[in-house]
Chain A
Amino acid sequence: MSKNAKQNLADSKKMSAELFCLTYGSLVTELLRDYEDPKEVTMQLDKMGFNMGTRLADDFLAKNSNVPRCTDCRQIAEVLCKNAIPCYLGTTANSSNWVGGDREFTIVIENNPLNELVQVPPNLLAAGLSYSQVIAGAIRGALEAVHFKVYATAMENGANTEIRIRFDSVLKDNLPAGEDD
């Protein structure tokens, strides 16, 4: 902090992952109390993630001017795994399981910081709670902010979190003036 030596890419401030994880945990607990149905909670988390994603997309593009414009799903996955997820979650991710002519893929997030210190009761998982759905929602929101419509769902898988992403379409109509190249 003394000299601004560590101003590398992103140039972003860091904070305790535990405070972040526990804060998210208390939000999920509150939602479970308010909604009772775990499926409904998953939907709410997805909505909140969407709102977060649209704002993070701005933040990301403002701080990473070197990231090129994506033209296909392979590039989207590459930017998500190599840039966005390490930047915002401080962990690594890989894409795999490409199907449907590269229109559907899975991102595996290792050491998901949201799952640190957390144990989700199996009965809630069985009833449809997807604990990390907020990440899927954020990806959906962030991509929609750059005019890609996707469907995303999160699944816990032992130590890792898998985000299944299905590409739907490019949103051409609401392209703001001057953005087209």
Chain B
Amino acid sequence: SLSRGKAEVNLSTFAVLFSEMVRYAQNRSETVTDIHDKLASYGKQVGYRMFDIITLREKGYKRETKLLGILMFIKSTVWKNLFGKEADKLERSNDDQCTYLLIEKDPMVNTFISVPKDKGVLNCAAFVAGIVEAILESASFTCKVTAHWHSGTAYVIQFDESLPTM
């Protein structure tokens, strides 16, 4: 039920499930970009649902309307609900007013995946990027979120230019 929450499962169970999903995505993909897209689409499914649950539980069903507000909400509340801790850093890109970076030293989903050498840019945090994108989308902030290797993993959040910043 929605009100219960706080139930927990063993991280190993998630680890093996997630690695099966990565393997499945990999088997059905030609390129690394395809794998990223697939993982992100799995993540989005999770994100849409999680957004409702978290806003209901933690915010009394009031959603954020300020850009900075929703970003902080993701960094702290969402991250705590999903991974049990806050994300490490939130930064705004110097070059581009519409780009924000959410930085996490070691994302949970990457701790148990060893990336093959020939797919060096593969980052399974694309799954988490999908979650973030879906949450921002649900809160009516159109954006594109991608995961990159940059002092750990950085989720690069590229907002639509039509959005008022700050």
- Whether B17 lies near A27 (C-beta < 8 A) is yes
**From residue B78, how far is it (CB to closest CB) to chain A in Å?**
11
| A59 CB–B CB distance under 8 Å | yes
The one of B24, B45, B50, B83 in contact with A48, judged by C-beta atoms closer than 8 angstroms, is B24
Query: Separation in Å of the A140 CB from the closest CB of chain B?
Result: 14
Q: Which residues of B contact A4 (CB under 8 A)?
A: none
On whether A88 and B10 interact (CB within 8 A), knowing A16-B82, A18-B53, the answer reads: yes
Instruction: Report whether over half of chain B's contact residues are helix, strand or loop; otherwise say mixed.
Output: helix
Q: List residues of B (16-69) whose CB comes within 8 Å of A's CBs.
A: 16-18, 20-21, 23-24, 28, 38, 41-43, 45-46, 49-50, 53
Q: Are A25 and B45 in contact (CB under 8 A)?
A: yes
Q: Are the C-beta atoms of B18 and A17 separated by less than 8 Å?
A: no
> What is the bound-complex CA distance between A134 and B16, given in angstroms?
11
Which B residues are in CB contact (< 8 Å) with A126?
none
* A134 contacts across to B, CB distance below 8 A: 17
The interface residues of chain A, by DSSP majority, are classed as helix
Given contacts A18-B53, A19-B50, A23-B14, contact A89 B9 (CB under 8 A): yes
Would you call A14 and B42 a contact (CB within 8 A)?
no
Stretch from A49-57, A72-80, A172-180 that touches the partner: A49-57
A59 to B15, CA, bound (A): 11
User: Which residues of B have CB within 8 Å of A29?
Assistant: 45
What residues of chain A lie closer than 8 Å to B38, measured between beta carbons? 30
Q: Is the CB of B12 within 8 A of A23?
A: no
B11 within 8 A of A: yes
Q: Which of A16, A48, A51, A117 contacts B8 (CB 8 A)?
A: A16
Q: Counting CB contacts under 8 A, is B81 at the interface?
A: yes
Are the C-beta atoms of A23 and B21 separated by less than 8 Å?
yes
Which residues on B sit within 8 Å (CB–CB) of A15? 8-11, 14, 83-84, 108
CB distance from A18 to the nearest CB of B (A): 7
Q: Is A116 an interface residue (CB 8 A)?
A: yes
- Write the nearest CB–CB distance from A177 to chain B, whole angstroms: 27
B5 at the interface (CB under 8 A from A): yes
**Of the residues B10, B46, B83, contact of A12 by C-beta under 8 Å:** B10
The verdict on B166 contacting chain A, using a C-beta distance below 8 Å, is no
Return chain A residues, CB-CB under 8 Å to B43: 26
- Which 3 pairs, one residue from A and one from B, show the smallest C-beta to C-beta distance? A26-B45, A17-B7, A52-B16
A sample of 30 inter-chain contacts (CB < 8 A) reads A12-B12, A13-B10, A13-B11, A14-B10, A14-B11, A15-B11, A15-B84, A16-B9, A16-B83, A17-B8, A18-B5, A18-B53, A19-B14, A19-B46, A20-B14, A22-B50, A23-B46, A25-B49, A27-B20, A27-B21, A51-B16, A51-B20, A52-B16, A56-B12, A56-B16, A87-B10, A88-B12, A90-B9, A113-B9, A117-B53
Having A14-B9, A20-B17, A55-B16, one finds 8 other A-B pairs with CB under 8 Å, namely A14-B10, A15-B11, A15-B108, A23-B17, A51-B23, A52-B16, A89-B10, A89-B13
